[in-house]
Amino acid sequence: MKKIFDYLDCLEEELISLRRDIHQYPELGFTEYKTSKKIFNYLKGLGLEVDMVCDTGVIGLLDCGEGPTIALRADIDALPIVEETDFEYKSKIEGVMHACGHDGHTAILLITAKLLVKFKNLLKGKVKFIFQPAEEGPGGAKPLIDAGVLEQPRVDKIFGLHIEEGIETGVIGVQPKEASAAADELDILIKGKGGHASASHQGVDAIVVAGQVITSLQTIVSRQINPHSRVVISLGKIKGGYKRNVIADKVEISGTVRTTNPEVRRTLPKRIEELVRGVTLSQRADYSLDYNFGYPVLLNSTTLLKEVEDDIVSNPLINRLKYLSLPSMGAEDFAYYLKKVPGVFFRLGAGESSRDYYPGHHPKFTFDERALKIGVGLFVSLVLGQLD
């Protein structure tokens, strides 16, 4: 064990420079051509079997003979954000930024592969390294699974992690069951009747109707859902109207619906539609509504978590395994893998307690780079625990 961690110390500099290199050249979902090429070449250089999947996904396989197959996943995409940090390694691509730490996830998984290759004589089984595109949308996990990444060899267990600047470096956070919310898309079109603003009775003002729809929708969460259930309905976009003296004939409203209970989730499209129908009918307006189920709830395997607990707490780089009582209401498409195979998604503490950090998706987002080595250590402990 000591040898492994000594070698990891030697790799820390490379780990940080890999992260900074990826940080400078961020790419959006399904356009990660340069990033995936770098990953492909790096894994090839390690002597792994490497495949490309869904254009920009990269799968590496370390085959150490008979035994189970453990998959480790990193997401590799960035966000359409103009970076506002003043690091010398800030984004060189205008309007694109690694503002969610996926640069770190990618570097962690590359160095994990390098380290496991070095100590492959200790392993009995296979390790599949999944570098997944488009986690920030439209979602890379599902197409990768459909393309067969969990087969040949069949993956028995899967692990993933996310950098969390809100958790202290050295601490690994984990939710024992629900870890991230389901995220669904809601689009509503309110159809009114245009006219002169001075003769409002002759038209049907879609803006007034939209106002009522928006306000009423919030009563689903506050009045119709059990307060112990977690539901968020946020309408992030509204568009309508032409001019101050024209009655708007239509308004478009788009939003997101977050839930952690699959049964409550199933009831929401109907509740929302009933409410929109009732409000628009009462105002002589009409509507159309699209409800699309997006990323599912991320459900960690409680049994597997118990199984790996000792491997984590005995890791010298990890100060503490912290059980988080509440799931994140954010969404994470790692959830799709967990619908197929047991696995656990960890929160990699990456914040110094003495510092304030801008959160993920902020133009000034950053994290404590000392966490990168701990991320590698976590993955290595998990694999050794399973394949030793």
Q: Which residues bind Zn ion (CB under 5 A)?
A: 100
What would the two tokens of residue 170 be?
């050295």
Contact call for residues 74 and 334 (beta carbons, < 8 A): no
Minimum CB distance to Zn ion, residue 361 (Å): 6
100 vs 206, beta carbon nearer Zn ion: 100
Minimum CB distance to Zn ion, residue 332 (Å): 7
134 vs 305, beta carbon nearer Zn ion: 134
| 332 given a catalytic annotation | no
Minimum CB distance to Zn ion, residue 260 (Å): 18
Please state whether 204 falls in left (phi above 0), alpha (psi between -120 and 50) or beta.
beta
Residue of minimal Cβ distance to Zn ion: 100
Say which residues have a Cβ less than 8 Å from residue 15's Cβ, sequence separation at least 6. 107, 108, 111, 372, 373, 376
C-alpha 179/C-alpha 162 separation (Å) is 11
Q: Which one from 32, 75, 77, 178 is the annotated catalytic residue?
A: 77
205 vs 333, beta carbon nearer Zn ion: 333
139 vs 203, beta carbon nearer Zn ion: 139
| 184 given a catalytic annotation | no
11 vs 100, beta carbon nearer Zn ion: 100
**DSSP track, 286-300:** EEEEEEE--S--EE-
Cα-flanking dihedrals φ and ψ of residue 216, to 5°?
-65, -35
Contact call for residues 192 and 366 (beta carbons, < 8 A): no
Instruction: Choose among 219, 207, 292: nearest CA to 256.
Output: 292
Minimum CB distance to Zn ion, residue 299 (Å): 18
Sign of CA dihedral 349, 355, 356, 359: negative
Minimum CB distance to Zn ion, residue 331 (Å): 9
Say which residues have a Cβ less than 8 Å from residue 239's Cβ, sequence separation at least 6. 251, 252
Q: Which one from 27, 83, 103, 135 is the annotated catalytic residue?
A: 135
- Kindly list the catalytic residues: 77, 135
